[in-house]
């Protein structure tokens, strides 16, 4: 089995409401072209850049995530892949404005909810193979100091100790939230929705 046996992710994509006029399908095509020629309307869109970064990481794992050997493990359902794409689409939306407390009281600082979700999703880099699906905030992120609980759904790579992977991911998410926001995070809940196989490209086709 090789990468060409994998289902086309474009057929599973949902269309986000805020990609500055673009769709997930268009971003896939743009990635396929190596982001050449440069499209200023895409590269100049914060939402598109967030989605492109997440889609790039997802594509790197696609053969292992979608083309699992049926003799070893059942293939992940399309609904889970759809939830990942839906999460990416959600990240691309600006969402609510989250205030950022500064040293100067008169300063009006803030960060979009979409940007914070994007930062949380990017934390998956610290655990090779981890794929972040949906992310949500329980609590009012628009009220400074209000307690907020972060809930994240992930798919974990087969063979990696899950408690260790979750611990590393939680620590990285916490670090990113502390660096980029002043949210009063009361907890970070990580739910492992499924386990996927990650193939080594050097193993060749099966």
Q: Tell me if 60 sits within 8 A of 196, measured CB to CB.
A: no
For residue 73, tell me if it sits in a domain. yes
Whether residue 21 is predicted with pLDDT greater than 90 in this model: the reply is no
Average the pLDDT over 5-23 and give the result.
55
CA atoms of 56 and 23, how far apart (whole Å): 15
- The verdict on residue 2 lying in a domain is no
pLDDT digit string, tens, across residues 49-92: 878 887 887 777 655 554 443 334 445 455 566 666 666 766 66
- Flag whether 6 is in a domain: no
Say if 4 falls within a structural domain: no
- The answer to the question of residue 79 being in a domain is yes
> Rounded to an integer, what distance in angstroms lies between the CA atom of residue 111 and that of residue 22?
22
Tokens of 180: 């980029």
Q: Which domain holds residue 82?
A: 11-200
Domain membership of residue 5 (yes or no) is no
Q: What is the CATH number of the domain that holds 30?
A: 3.30.70.1350
Top pLDDT among 134 and 90 is at: 134
CA distance 149 to 116: 13
Residue 154 counted as domain residue: yes
Question: With 80 as the cut, is the pLDDT of residue 178 above it?
Answer: yes
Beta bridge partners of 152: 135, 190
Q: Identify the pLDDT of residue 66.
A: 47
**Range from 63-77, 102-116, 157-171 carrying the lowest mean pLDDT:** 63-77
**Residue 131 falls inside a structural domain:** yes
Total number of domains constituting the chain: 1
SS3 136: strand
**Tokens, residue 87:** 């999460």
């Amino acid at each position: 089995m090789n990468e060409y046996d994998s289902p086309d992710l474009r057929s599973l994509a949902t269309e986000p409401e805020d990609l500055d006029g673009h769709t997930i399908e268009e971003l896939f095509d743009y990635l396929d072209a190596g982001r050449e020629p440069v499209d200023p309307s895409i590269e100049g869109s914060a939402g598109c850049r967030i989605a492109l970064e997440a889609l790039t990481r997802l594509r790197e794992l696609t053969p292992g995530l979608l083309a699992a050997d049926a003799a070893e493990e059942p293939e992940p359902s399309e609904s889970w892949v759809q939830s990942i794409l839906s999460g990416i689409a959600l990240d691309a939306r600006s969402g609510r404005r989250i205030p950022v407390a500064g040293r100067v009281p008169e300063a009006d600082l803030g960060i979009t909810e979409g940007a914070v979700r994007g930062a949380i999703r990017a934390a998956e880099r610290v655990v090779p193979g981890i794929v972040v699906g949906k992310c949500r905030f329980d609590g009012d992120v628009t009220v400074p100091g209000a307690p907020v609980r972060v809930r994240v759904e992930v798919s974990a790579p087969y063979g990696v100790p899950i408690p260790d992977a979750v611990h590393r991911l939680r620590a990285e998410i916490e670090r990113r939230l502390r660096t980029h926001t002043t949210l009063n995070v009361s907890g970070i809940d990580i739910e492992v929705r499924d386990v996927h196989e990650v193939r080594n490209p050097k193993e060749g086709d099966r």
